[in-house]
Amino acid sequence: MRVTRGMMRRRLVALLGILLLAISALVGRLAYIQVLLSPWLSDQAQALWSRSIPLQGTRGTIYDATGQKLVYTASAPSVIATPAQIKDKPGTAAKLAAVLGMPADQILQLLNKRVSMVYIQPAGRRITDQQAAQIRALNLPGVYLTEEGKRVYPYGTLAAQVLGITGADNQGITGLEKQYDDVLSGEPGAITFYAKANGEQMPGLGQSYIPPVDGLDLQLTIDVHIQQFVEREIEQAVAEYNPDHVTAIVADPKTGAILAMANYPTFDPANWKQYPSSTYNQNLAIWQTFEPGSTFKIVTLSAALQEGKVTLSDKFYDPGYYEVAGHRIRCWKAGGHGSQTFLNVVENSCNPGFIALGERLGKQALFDYIRKFGFGQKTGIDLPGEGTGILFPLSKVGPLELATTAFGQGVSVTPIQQVMAVSAVANGGLLMKPYVVQAYINHDTEQVVHEVQPTVVRRVISPQTAATVRQALESVVARGSGTGAYQAGYRVAGKTGTAQVAENGRYSGSHYIVSFIGMAPADNPRLVAYVAIDYPRPRNGAPVFGGVIAAPIVGRILADSLQYLGVPPQSGGLPKKQKWNDIPQVQVPNFVGMTIGDAQRAAIQSTAQLQTQVVGTGKYVVWQAPAAGTQVPSGSTIRLYLGDSPVPQPQAGGSGGGTGGQGGGASSSGGGAGNSSAGSTGG
């Protein structure tokens, strides 16, 4: 076919059109890349070039209930290196090693890593200001200083398991540090710069700074003064009895706020790596489970009174044992207590009497109340690692299990469960949720961001029943197995506990956990206090009973704490029943305002034969416990708190317990080990 000029023209036009379309497409594509994709491509390029030095926000401070700092963060410099920016790595390693006291070859290994950035650790983390100044003076290319937080503990080991610890990266590991890590940690910031592919910093692009956000502060319910009272008593108990473990808790029964919580063994949170993991990982007050012994009888008594199965004036005859399903469960007192009222049953911590109460209730009712009081479930306290405890499944509760449960054996509970259960008796019948943190506070403005409110879990018993139980427990302290806790003027109510520990499937004849749980004042309790001592070993061969060992400790904690809180002594409580071996009571003189020398001489010259224990530093006595005018056993120890200036006004009235000459021996304390196959417990 012949190609005409018209055909040629049409083909050229078509070719020109295709060419124009191609050029238009290329121009459009170029415009798309240059205009529309430009921000995205710039971001991608900057992401490839950018390097960041992390900056941590200040970790929140932890305060006690009175505003005292328990933990705070002090800023400390740390060394970071960008390996690609360091040309003379051996020389840089040698210079850093001389300042940090770290082997040069170890630093060189870090500098040879194919990473964008590396901490010079461990010696380069949280260094001193002097070391930081030396490193700045070296002006080493690729070596930077960043700020990291270092936790400081002004009170040393105080409340260590409650506060917890932080790791190398300032993260919470245990205790409140772990539980509230997201609240305390804040948000990280960074210093950002731009570098080439080989890691060298790009000239002329400068740096950008993203400020970190500080964490929130926490204010606790823990009161540092009450915590110190508790830890003082634990130290004394350890020195006197050489136990395996000690746990103590003080709570406000009306709110569930924990005012003190301490354990032995303890540790220094600033040097936690020097201690075994079991010491810093486990808060025994919420984690440890054990058979409670006679302190659990408070639950049985409360249930029986609430269900109308008994009154305190009802009679019960104790021949010294109780027959259950072919087993003879013995009373701690050989020959028994004979004819007595149920108030006497409580005072004497009589196991047969409580077995009778358990049978009157029946397994369904008793275990219903046990669960209502919070046993067999976590309390929900805001601390990690809480235990649950163990209860018999109802289907496996026979007559023997019912009997042993009624007096506190065969069940497994935690200390915090017991404190909250007894707090329900103290506050009129309401089970409260325990808590340790009461507020979040803005670190910079000091304004409260969030306030924790008390939480009622449920009503367990009526106010009338709770008042009757408190009446019985006050009688335990005034006339029964708990006389060691008696504090004149403060109406202490409580219950002793002495529980055998099962070892290799059998109850040990020597290993006991002795305990006491008390409240004061009995008519309107402000405080509930609990102490448990695992495997006490008295040096003088004294009997191992909760009434002898644990009760005086709780009495002193309650008295000193109430005196500190400004609760005045009151009249109208039950007088203490005097026993043949009680030490005569004497009145404490007023030492406040004296120099320490005059006070000690006055104590020595006193006919009361008082001992003194000095607390703090200074020339003058600014406070004393027990307070002036308090009745204490002759020979008791008076704690004298020192300051730099005299206090001219006499000390406000209050009561505390001395450490010496506590009345009551085996004959006046609750029961010890029984002889039955079930391994009975007593006060």
User: What is the three-class DSSP state of 514?
Assistant: strand
Biggest CA-to-CA distance, the chain: 145
Please say whether the dihedral angle defined by the alpha carbons of residues 230, 231, 234 and 236, taken in this order, is positive or negative. Answer: negative
Tokens, residue 140: 């080493």
**Cα distance between residue 558 and residue 562, in whole Å:** 6
Can you name the residues that pair with 446 across neighbouring β-strands? none
Closest CA to 366 of 342, 399, 344, 340: 399
% helix, strand, coil for the chain, step of 5: 35, 25, 40
Tokens, residue 372: 């209502």
**Cα distance between residue 564 and residue 554, in whole Å:** 15
User: What is the three-class DSSP state of 217?
Assistant: strand
Amino acid, single-letter form, for residue 61: T
**Cα distance between residue 294 and residue 350, in whole Å:** 9
Q: Tokens 């379309």 correspond to what residue?
A: 21
- Cis check: omega of the bond before 265, within 30 degrees of 0: yes
Can you name the residues that pair with 248 across neighbouring β-strands? 262, 531
* 220-249 as b/e: b if 16+ CB within 10 A: bbbbbbbbbbbbbbbeebbebbebebbbbb
Contact assessment for residue 163 and residue 153, using Cβ atoms and an 8 Å cutoff: yes
Taking phi over 0 as left and psi of -120 to 50 as alpha, with beta for the rest, 381 belongs to beta
Contacts of 292 (CB under 8 A, 6+ apart): 408, 411, 413, 418, 497, 499, 515
Closest CA to 433 of 456, 415, 459: 456
**Cα distance between residue 674 and residue 507, in whole Å:** 10
Strand-strand pairing, 527-534 and 506-520: antiparallel
**Cα distance between residue 328 and residue 355, in whole Å:** 12
Active site residues: 294
- How wide is the angle at C-alpha 237 spanned by C-alphas 231 and 243, nearest 5°? 110
Amino acid, single-letter form, for residue 602: A
Closest CA to 454 of 493, 427, 481: 427
Please say whether the dihedral angle defined by the alpha carbons of residues 188, 189, 191 and 193, taken in this order, is positive or negative. Answer: positive
